[in-house]
Amino acid sequence: MPDFESKTLSSLKQKLATTKPREDSGAPTASRYHFQALCGLVLALERHKLDGDYALVFEFHDDIAIFDNSVNPQKVKFYQVKSKKNGHWTTAALTKRDAKKREEAFSYLGKMYQNVVVFSGSVESSTFLSNAPAKFAPGDKQSFSLSECDDVDLEGIIKKLKEEFSDEDTIKSELLWIEKSDLSLDDADTHAKGKLEAFVVEHLGEVEFSLSALFKAVSEECTSKARATKTDLADYDDVVAQRGITRQDTEGWLQAVSATVSCPKWEEIAPEINLPAPQKIRLRREWNAYRVAVLNPNEAVRKIRRMIAEHLYDHGGTSMDLNGLLASAFSALEGSARAELGMASDERIKAMILYEAYSIE
């Protein structure tokens, strides 16, 4: 059994490596990437509720692909993301091909089914995901496979797909899905932010944290992944690293919130800090601001955090009190911190040191 599993897993990776991704003729826009990124964020949150590893990857053989393992995938779900300002999707719109390039061009459903054919046996589903509903949805369902459509609609779709895939004896309509996203086109940020908040509450309970800072961090991460261009598309591991969101990444979002929650409020640490009143007032302001900003750090902040953590770890066995530790760490790290953070105030650097000190487990 182990040998069979290993062969199956490496087979999909090999197929991914040897299959050139389809060119997307549509002009990428900032709004398209943003909506796609938010759809990916929501899909990652939903997938994280299930057991097992995963990798949600942007712009790899389709707009979004969810693999069942971040290292050795065996199964994949593809998503084609399309937004629509108004109206419904019809079977005609989904099966329409470019009249000028009819022989070479695929319809929307054709693009989805191409992945079913190419990665035969590994595809769990290929889904058309949009903010707009499908006019032909059976019983007004928000999510359904084409096999659930009424006979007239299904026969029409299969006929069109057979024109695109003449070598296919049977069209596997049960693998093609249509799904209406919960995200509206006009207010996708608000809806995605609400889902992120519900996700955090579900995993950590009712905790006090900056939802805006966390949402900014994860939505920017997803958008950056969706727009990544420096990727070797023949190497699955590189693609996951540059364009993917894994279980470990999503756990990292939760850990960032947990860290801010576990750090005390200013009122709890103020009595322990001995500084002149003006400095202490500025430090309070920086402490409160940093507890929010740390949810959305840039690379310079991440680098300084690592340096502070290493310094505190190396000096964790000393008998210094909090004030001694703060003064020692500030003296040792001030120069390096300013080199990375430029005009950061003394109090901002000290607030970062305090934060890491209270984050040590």
Residue in 79, 72, 77 with CA at minimum distance from that of residue 12: 72
What is the SS3 assignment for the chain? CHHHHHHHHHHHHHHHHHCCCCCCCCCCCHHHHHHHHHHHHHHHHHHHCCCCCCEEEECCCCCEEEECCCCCCCCEEEEEEECCCCCCECHHHHHCCCHHHCCCCCCHHHHHHHHHHHCCCCEEEEEEEECCCECCCHHHCCEEEHHHCCHHHHHHHHHHHHHHCCCCCCCCHHHEEEEECCCCCCCHHHHHHHHHHHHHHHHHCCCCCCHHHHHHHHHHHHHHHHCCCCCCCCCHHHHHHHHEEEHHHHHHHHHHHHHHHHCCCHHHHHHHCCCCHHHHHHHHHHHHHHHHHCCCCCHHHHHHHHHHHHHHHHCCCCCCCHHHHHHHHHHHHHHHHHHHHCCCCHHHHHHHHHHHHHHCC
Average pLDDT over residues 58-62: 93
Task: Residue 36: name the closest of 83, 78, 76, 68 by CA.
Answer: 83
pLDDT at residue 27 greater than cutoff 50 = no
> 172 pLDDT exceeds 60?
yes
| Cβ(312)–Cβ(352) below 8 Å | no
For 254-289, how does the pLDDT look when each residue is reduced to its tens digit (9 = 90+)?
A: 999 998 888 888 999 999 999 999 999 999 999 999
The confidence band for 353, taking pLDDT boundaries of 50, 70 and 90, is: very high
Question: Sign of the C-alpha dihedral, residues 165, 166, 172, 173?
Answer: positive
Residue in this structure with the two tokens 């979002």, named with its chain if needed: 253
Does the pLDDT value for residue 112 go beyond 60? yes
pLDDT of residue 292: 86
Average pLDDT over residues 9-15: 76
Q: For residue 221, what pLDDT is reported? A: 92
The yes-or-no verdict on residue 8 having pLDDT over 70 is no
Q: Please report the pLDDT score of residue 298 as a whole number.
A: 83
pTM of the shown model: 0.84
Q: What percent of the chain has pLDDT over 90?
A: 67
pLDDT higher than threshold 80 for residue 159: yes
Q: What is the mean pLDDT of residues 218-233?
A: 83
Least confident of 42-51, 191-200, 228-237, 254-263: 228-237
CB 108 within 8 Å of CB 99:
no
Residue 331 confidence (pLDDT) above 90: yes
Region 155-159 average pLDDT: 96
| Closest residue by Cα to residue 357 from 267, 264, 276 | 264
Percent share of the chain, pLDDT over 70? 92
- Please report which confidence band the pLDDT of residue 232 belongs to, taking 50, 70 and 90 as the band edges: low
User: Looking at the DSSP assignment, which residues form a beta bridge with residue 129?
Assistant: 81, 179
CA distance linking residue 131 with residue 191, whole number of Å: 12
What's the confidence (pLDDT) of residue 231?
62
Average per-residue pLDDT in the chain?
89
Reported confidence tier of residue 24, pLDDT bands at 50, 70, 90: low
State the average pLDDT over residues 311-335. Answer: 86
